[in-house]
Amino acid sequence: MEYSRITKSDLEEIIKLYEKYLNPGEFIQDTIREMFEEEKFVGFQAKDGEKIVGFFFGKEGIDFTYPHPELEKDIWSVVGTQKLYTPDGLLVLDEYRNQGIAGELIRRMKDWLKANGMEIALVELWIYPDDSVPAREPLMGLGEVIYEKTIPDFYKDLHKYNVRCPICGEKCTCGALIELIRL
């Protein structure tokens, strides 16, 4: 397995994978492209030969799947002046899971965040209708949880952004577990 930073030449493949396995839609495509252009964007990928089999990227500040102004205000009241980063889009293809790939991507992200002065990571963890939270365990590698909030129906307005839930489709009933993690 080869690990490297995501570059502009990888971006379209990353977007394609994100849309296939996480969230499709023009809003998502535009958000990822805009995020990539930001100064504090960082992303890491895992490749098996030429095939991208996993990735993890993010941006400075708050970056939910779509805006949640009241929650954002609450988060800033907790974070204050500390440097906040939102890692997003942790994905490892099914056939490559349980090989330590997510852990390595998270380790690289954490190292980069700390080296670049970030203090807090904001994670938005999808809670499926069966109450499972698939990404929770690997993301615990980022550090100590200092804030946690479970929000039922967090994605109920996805359709307003022309985004489909990969689990529910048009009418999403998934919740989210929002955590602030001290790196």
Tokens for 47?
A: 């490749």
Separation of first and last alpha carbons in the chain? 26
Phi/psi of residue 18, nearest 5 degrees = -60, -45
39-68 pLDDT per residue, tens: 888 999 999 999 999 999 999 999 998 999
For residues 80 and 57, give the distance between their C-alpha atoms in angstroms, rounded to a whole number.
Answer: 23
Mean pLDDT of the region 70-74 = 96
Bridge-partner residues for 165, per DSSP?
A: 169
Asked whether the predicted pLDDT for residue 164 surpasses 90, the reply is no
pTM: 0.87
Would you state the pLDDT for residue 77? 96
- Find tokens 């001290």 and name the residue: 182
